[in-house]
Structure 1
Amino acid sequence: MSPAGVVENYIQYKERESRTASRSGHSAILTRVHGHTTSRYELLVFGGRNSPDIEMVRIWTEGDVRPDPLHSPRLIEHLRSLITSGNVSPRSPGALRHHSMTLVGPFGVLYGGECFNKAIDTACNDLFIYDTRPPGGMWFHLPNSDPEMKRFGHRIVVVGESLCLLGGRGRDGRNCSPEIYTLDTKT
């Protein structure tokens, strides 16, 4: 008890055995490992440092984690058809920070961020899809030519069957965006 009779809640953290590279402004997704007889999940971390690689941090079995599956079958099918259409190019995002990534079924969807390798106009507006299905580890790039959509420090979330872009700083890097956009992923 603290003075005045208020109960203090203490949260205790325990460091995990696994480690990742030092980073800031990164994203992480928990995805199911496909092709195994037992359910296994891996934590994938991307960005926040000068590396274009996605890093697998740790693998858990189904009893260790309780994933919250996303139920957006039309959006999942749309992403699947995009990457098999031949209209998107296989390309990784490069080194980013302050981007946003969300899991949609077996696909990690990444949008925007700041590029480590550019000195001017570091905000980007490209959409990338990371396919975790076997053989796994394949990136696909969907360019966006609208400079008003450049963002970093934003969030991309799934609402129903749509991808929505919320907030963040725009291409000038100073002004926050109050708009909410639904991303049109048609090719």
Structure 2
Amino acid sequence: MGVFLRHRDRREVPSADNDVIAVAPPLREVPNKLKTSLESLQQHLKVLEEHKQASEKTAAHIKYQAQHTERQIKEEFEKIHQFLRDEEAARIAALKEEEELKSHMMRRKIEEMSGEIASLSDQIRNTEKEMEAENIPFLLNVSSTLKQYVIIISVLPSLKSSPSLIRQTDDSYNAPVGFGEFIQINRVQRGKLK
């Protein structure tokens, strides 16, 4: 049964009988249509809730992945930092060892040169005294004295034979030799973990 209004209650064109106009579907159909609409809405609600749960799981998994990846990055960089600390310690130890060795050699050489300087200074002083005194036997023996000076000069150590300086540009102190290999090995290991 439909809902009807009299023509006077409506402001529309009158119907053929000019008495009544149908304005609503029968009331029996309304609950069925509402039920169908509600079922559709409930289905949509269920789908949305499932998507929300899936999205929440995905968000939680993303957070877990990020934390796990951050931990891996920190561990990897800690290995790199440890590698660099070890390299630094090894290179500084090698540098100190080279410094000690070369410093010892230089001290020995300086001591030898000091002895030679003292000896030569004495000979020069004695020669100058003999020349000032006009010592005849000394002056007559000048050729043997000159030969002795040539021998002394030839025996003197070469000034160029000092030990080399610290190798500042040597890779063993500067460029991180082995660092590239370390990174490569670490990447290979990381690839195996995946």
TM class by shorter-chain length? under 0.3
Give the alignment's TM-score, normalised by structure 2: 0.15
Return the structure number with greater strand share.
1
Q: Which has the larger radius of gyration?
A: 2
Return the structure number with greater helix share.
2
Give the alignment's TM-score, normalised by structure 1: 0.16
